[in-house]
Amino acid sequence: MGQTEGELFFSDVRVREAKRLLAEAVAEHSNHLHGVRPADEGRVESYEAVLQAFAAARGAPLFYKYVGSGIGNGALVELADGSVKYDLISGIGVHGWGHSHPDIIAAGIDAALSDVVMQGNLQQNAVALDVMQLFLQLAQKKGAQLAHCFLTTSGAMANENALKIACQKTGGSRVLAFSHCFAGRTLALAQVTDKALYRSGLPDTLAVDYVPFYDATDPEGSTQRSCDVVQTLIERWPKAHASMIFELIQGEGGYYPGERKYFRKLMSIVRDAGILVHVDEIQTFGRTDHAFAFQHFECDDLVDMVTVGKYSQTCATLYKKELQPRPGLLSQTFTASSSALHAARVLLKEMCDGDLFGSEGRITTGAQFFSDGLLAISQRHPELVSGPFGYGAMCACTPYGGDLDRAVDLSRRLFDAGILSFVAGSYPKRIRFLPPVAVMSKDAMTDALAIIEAVLVEGA
């Protein structure tokens, strides 16, 4: 068997040397970024013009004055005004390995050298198969029966595909979801997402019945209430629900984790009624002591469909063999860009074989160090902040009693001081962090936490 032209090309000595030189240049420039720094005075005016052009083009200003320069170093990112900031929100959970990570850059170069920018349902390269198999390998690790993987371009599309599979398979036309959940922003998912503002003016495209979420201050009572509500809804709408969407650690809703027994009970009730269990892991994937939060909560035997995105770079719907939809239901021009697939392959391989997970894994130890730091701040200033809340690398605190305006103001002041965070929840309003804990040193976290504390105190 001879080598393909592709194999010959990627192992061509000139290609290998060019990649080595590029990696060397990226590392050299990336290493020049070693702490927060203010904007370059000389760039203030031109940067402002870029921000205004952004606002004009998109019809509204950016939430933060953030335009990246294209280089970073782990949690540090340089903006086009020359400032350097700690990115503790990671594009709302996307840049799990921070900025300019050498392995992701190398994957990106391979992707750039491949023949196509975008891959789709009709024509895919071998990298797409690797990604699907790695997703499935991770998902099946503790016994979940997830046999198939359909790649897609956004978390919302992954959820849409799961909804379509569930409706077609069960014949149901309603879904169950938790109060305060977030599921995406398509017409159907705007109905699932429990926020009136996000569906304002939109048609009612999907019937959704809400179930109150777990309350850590009342484990038994809240479990009973949720189970009772589900039972009542099932009785009110017999055979009408296609699936129940489980967000195991509520993200946009304010960083509230659920609990193992609670989920197992609810999942068992809905499954007994023929309703599919759909776990939305778009924000939780890669942020607990296991690849999937359903593995952390030990629900492997109860999941029917799982959706992933963000951290994995490539989004996907994983589902059981018996849920295979009829031809024509799922298809897309784009399933992912080549760069997203190449990056996903590197990340997922490390999730399979590396030291990210378990109680001593880089995710758990890094997340613990960060949340311990937030706890120490809240203990020093209980009148200013409470927390931390969340679980694993999803970490939040409630500043100034949860006041909306003050939380938004704090996030903006943090930005100015060199920390990227974001708000979550409605009341109390929280400041949330999705730090790239796997690649962020303890020194960098200590440095970032000191800035957070100073900014909190300054706004007292």
Q: Which parts of 237-361 fold into alpha helices (H)? A: 260-272, 293-296, 338-353
CA torsion 227-228-230-231 (nearest 10°) is 110
Q: From the CB of 46, what's the least distance to ligand PLP, in Å? A: 31
User: Where are any strands of DSSP class E within 240-355?
Assistant: 241-246, 249-250, 256-257, 276-280, 305-308, 315-320, 336-337
Q: How far is the CB of 3 from ligand PLP (least distance, A)?
A: 38
Would you say 58 or 321 has its CB closer to ligand PLP? Answer: 58
Residue placing its CB nearer to ligand PLP in the complex, 153 or 398: 153
Report the alpha-carbon angle 89-352-346, nearest 5.
60
Closest contact distance (angstroms) between CB of 285 and ligand PLP is 10
Nearest 5°: the CA angle 218, 220, 221 is 65
Q: Give the angle 231-280-157 at the CA atoms, nearest 5°.
A: 120
Question: Minimal distance in Å, beta carbon 186 to ligand PLP?
Answer: 8
CB of 185 to ligand PLP, least distance (A): 7
| Closer residue to ligand PLP, CB minimum distance, 251 or 387 | 251
Of 131 and 456, the one with the shorter C-beta distance to ligand PLP is: 131
- Round to whole Å and give the CA distance between 385 and 401: 7
Nearer to ligand PLP, 315 or 455 (CB): 315
* Contact residues for ligand PLP, defined by CB under 6 A: 92, 154-156, 159, 182-184, 247, 251-252, 280, 282-283, 309
Compute the least distance from the CB of residue 182 to ligand PLP, in Å.
Answer: 5
Q: Whose Cβ is closer to ligand PLP: residue 124's or residue 313's?
A: 313
Q: Give the residue with the Cβ less far from ligand PLP, 309 or 373.
A: 309
What's the rounded Cα separation, in Å, for the pair 441 and 233? 48
Residue with smaller CB distance to ligand PLP, 47 or 422: 422
**Least separation, in Å, of the C-beta of 287 and ligand PLP?**
11
CA dihedral 260, 262, 263, 267 (to 10 degrees): 140
Are 357 and 438 contacting, i.e. CB atoms less than 8 angstroms apart?
no
Task: Select 313 or 378, whichever has its Cβ closest to ligand PLP.
Answer: 313
- Cβ nearer to ligand PLP, comparing 13 with 197: 197
Nearest to 345 by CA among 307, 309, 317, 314: 314
- CA separation (Å) from 427 to 377, 423, 431? 21, 11, 12
Residue number of the CB atom closest to ligand PLP: 155
CB of 94 to ligand PLP, least distance (A): 9
212-218 contact pairs (CB < 8 A, 24+): 212/178, 212/179, 213/178, 213/179, 213/180, 213/181, 213/250, 213/253, 213/256, 213/258, 214/256, 214/257, 214/258, 214/259, 214/262, 216/256, 216/257, 216/259
Closest distance to ligand PLP from the beta carbon of 314 (Å): 11
In the complex, what is the shortest distance from the CB of residue 190 to ligand PLP, in angstroms, rounded to a whole number?
Answer: 11
Would you say 114 or 288 has its CB closer to ligand PLP?
Answer: 288
Q: Phi then psi for 368, rounded to 5 degrees?
A: -65, -40
Residue 336's nearest CA partner among 92, 58, 135 is 135
135 within 8 A of 347, measured Cβ to Cβ = no
Q: Smallest gap, in angstroms, from Cβ of residue 291 to ligand PLP? A: 16
Q: Position 295: which residue type?
A: Q
Residue 23 and residue 101: Cα distance in Å, rounded?
A: 10
Q: What is the dihedral of CA 170, 166, 320, 315, to 10 degrees?
A: 170
